[in-house]
Structure 1
Amino acid sequence: MLTAERHQLILSLLADKQTIRLQEIIDHTNASESTIRRDLDTLEKKGKLNRVHGGASAATLTKEEATMSEKSEKFHAEKEAIASFAARFIKGKETIFLDAGSTTNLMIPHLDPSITVVTNGPEHLPMLAERGITTYLIGGFVKPGTRAVIGANAVENLRQYRFDRCFVGVNGITEEDGLTTPDPEEAAIKKNVLAQSLSRYILADHSKFGTRTFTKFGDPEDAILITDASTPTAEKLKSKTEIEVAHP
């Protein structure tokens, strides 16, 4: 099969299934694994698809976002590993920003009660209170679905704070488009938090690498990336930033 024919077949499979595993492509094309990996690299550079762990996904620009409940159920073990690993960076009595999200929520059982937390995640409050952690919730509009606090009031409220460390979620990471999230107002929160923190951490399970969404809020080199598995995109980014892998 000619290279152009393989590329067309791969894109046709993605059009039908949105996500396809490497072995499936090999079975359909009868090509070697190394050949298919080169094909996927080429197609990704052309913006035709996104490389993900073990295969590829269709290159769609996502503006929709899963609810907090949906996020909590997906890749739970991987997020647990990332969360417990991320908490090890925090020193006693520090002030941190804890982004709204399912992975950051899983950090809370691992936090030292001596720290101070500022957050835009109302979902975090019960556990933070149970642990006796001093907590500030920024004010603003509560976003349906993810329940994150966002908007102009939230950004203005946030500007008064400075953080030793921040722990921020992300919906997509690519070499070309950087750190992205579907909602421009939530992106504004994340961008300001990164600027106001001495040490910055992006928490991203492997599915976020090679994916891009609607709004950019930073570059990979702006923070340490904490993930659960190496991916083709993560390997490319190692020359630009520090990547920590927390195995489940």
Structure 2
Amino acid sequence: MLTEERRKLIMELLKSHEIVKSQELMKLLDSSESTIRRDLQEMEAEGLLKRIHGGAKRIVKLDYEPDMLEKSSKNVHEKQLIAEYATSFIHDGDFVYLDAGTSTYEMIPFLKQKDINVITNSVYHATALTDLKIPTMIIGGNIKLTTKAVVSAFSLQQLQLFRFDKAFMGINGIHPKHGLTTPDSEEATMKAVALGQAEQVYILADDSKFNKVSFSKVAALDEATIITNQLSKDIRQHFESLTTIKEVIK
């Protein structure tokens, strides 16, 4: 087998298994111990993996923060399925917090017939909600130019004054070790505070967010119910011990 073919297979294995053993690679790739050792050494030098005793582990790279336009064009069908299912947890009379993000934005059309009050820190969300005549309060403060989220110390002070029946949030990374993460530290703090102010918390995230890590931690995985689309077998096995994941299967 050519070197490039071996390396490609090693990277594919690391995507689905965070750690691979040298002995397993020798069998799967029909290669000698010295060949596998050399491959792993060279791949580590290129920053593709990290060698550990008896094998190698995947390097978890931090995700960047795309703007609202870029995010809104990705995985639209999955987000809509997740959003529709998420609204089934909302009942008349609820005070609902909608976090800024494209997944929570997709919930808005499904809220039209519900007798609720919505609090949000998103300019986009507030506009869409009021267009549908849904009673809405927007958190005040500085507006983040990329995502149009309202994020500042003043925003946090306001958020701490309120209690919510339910909070719905987007997230950038869901990882079995590092938990729920997002690139912006101020947004992470906003999400963490909102999480603490709600009786029930739901994270809306399609399967592309799993096994990803961003800069700032929001919460541990078991602090919220995660609503997602149907996960692959490879993803599910990393989260099999977590009972708070709800998959929308259609």
Q: Does the TM-score normalized on the shorter chain lie above 0.5? A: yes
Which segments of 5 or more consecutive residues in structure 1 lack a partner in the other structure? 23-28, 33-42, 50-57
TM value normalised by structure 2: 0.77
* Partner of residue 54, structure 1: none
Matches of residues 59-98 of structure 1 in structure 2 within 5 Å?
Answer: 59-62=60-63, 64-98=64-98
Which segments of 5 or more consecutive residues in structure 2 lack a partner in the other structure? 18-25, 30-48
Cα deviation, residue 180, structure 1? 0.1
TM value normalised by structure 1: 0.78
What per-residue deviation string (whole Å, max 9, x for no partner) do you get for residues 14-63 of structure 1? 8xxxx9899xxxxxx9949xxxxxxxxxx7997943xxxxxxxx62123x
* DSSP-derived class of the 1:140 partner: coil
Q: Give me the whole-angstrom Cα distance separating, in 2, the residues matched to 1:30 and 1:70.
A: 42
Identity of paired residues, percent?
A: 37
What per-residue deviation string (whole Å, max 9, x for no partner) do you get for residues 198-235 of structure 1? 00101111010000010001011001110012244444
* DSSP-derived class of the 2:177 partner: coil
- Identify if the C-alpha distance between structure 1 residues 110 and 12 changes in structure 2 by more than 3 Å, giving closer, same or farther: same
Greater Rg by CA = 2
Taking CA–CA contacts closer than 8 Å with sequence separation of 6 or more, which of the two structures ends up with the larger relative contact order? 1
Q: Does 1:110 align with 2:110?
A: yes
* Partner of residue 183, structure 1: 184
* Partner of residue 25, structure 1: none
* Contact 2:121–2:139 (Cα < 8 Å) also in 1: yes
Cα deviation, residue 151, structure 1? 1.3
* DSSP-derived class of the 2:93 partner: coil
Matches of residues 1-248 of structure 1 in structure 2 within 5 Å?
Answer: 9-10=7-8, 31=28, 48-49=57-58, 59-62=60-63, 64-111=64-111, 112-231=113-232, 232-247=234-249
* Contact 2:91–2:114 (Cα < 8 Å) also in 1: no
How many residues end up aligned between the 2 structures? Answer: 216
Q: Give me the whole-angstrom Cα distance separating, in 2, the residues matched to 1:8 and 1:214.
A: 32
Question: Which amino acid in 2 is paired with 1:237?
Answer: F
Question: Which amino acid in 1 is paired with 2:199?
Answer: L
* Contact 2:166–2:199 (Cα < 8 Å) also in 1: yes
The CA RMSD measured in Å over matched residues stands at 3.1
Question: Which amino acid in 1 is paired with 2:74?
Answer: K
| Structure 1 moving runs of 4+ over 6 Å | 5-8, 19-22, 43-47
Q: Give me the whole-angstrom Cα distance separating, in 2, the residues matched to 1:222 and 1:200.
A: 8
